[in-house]
Structure 1
């Protein structure tokens, strides 16, 4: 393989990498802008479930149970 071919393939690879990085960066900035708009609007997203009061109590009870188990493990008590 000649030096010109090696140099050309290296430059092509570098150009491809730079283009991929540029497109990825543009997509990242777009995603960040979308998240900023979602936060500024203050409305919940469509895929987020709305929490009911009963669901909050169940979640709190679950967390208390987890804390109780962790405290028992820390104290060396087998459950």
Structure 2
């Protein structure tokens, strides 16, 4: 009969290493998800809304420019 102790010990150690790596990766993933949830929830607050997003600011600037042009047309001023 062959000695099976060494392969069994190596298999058990490998399984333990995979389990520890998986547990650490899962903890990191959960932490990242919690961070993203917190980041998204801060975007709903009024203090976070003051910063705004670049697309929203550009859209507001475009709307303001359109309003300025319409007011100029209504006042009879050529642009």
Q: Let me know the Cα RMSD of the aligned residues.
A: 1.8
Rg larger for: 2
Q: Normalized against structure 2, the TM-score is what?
A: 0.56
Correspondent of 1:30 among 16, 26, 35: 35
Runs of 4+ in 1 over 6 A off after TM superposition: none
Q: Kindly tell me the number of residue pairs found equivalent between the two proteins.
A: 53
* Structure-to-structure mapping, 1:49-64, within 5 angstroms: 49-50=56-57, 51=59, 52-53=62-63, 54=66
Gaps of 5+ in 2: 1-5, 67-79
Matched, 1:15 2:26: no
Q: Normalized against structure 1, the TM-score is what?
A: 0.56
Gaps of 5+ in 1: 55-79
Q: Distance in 2 between matches of 1:36 and 1:48?
A: 19
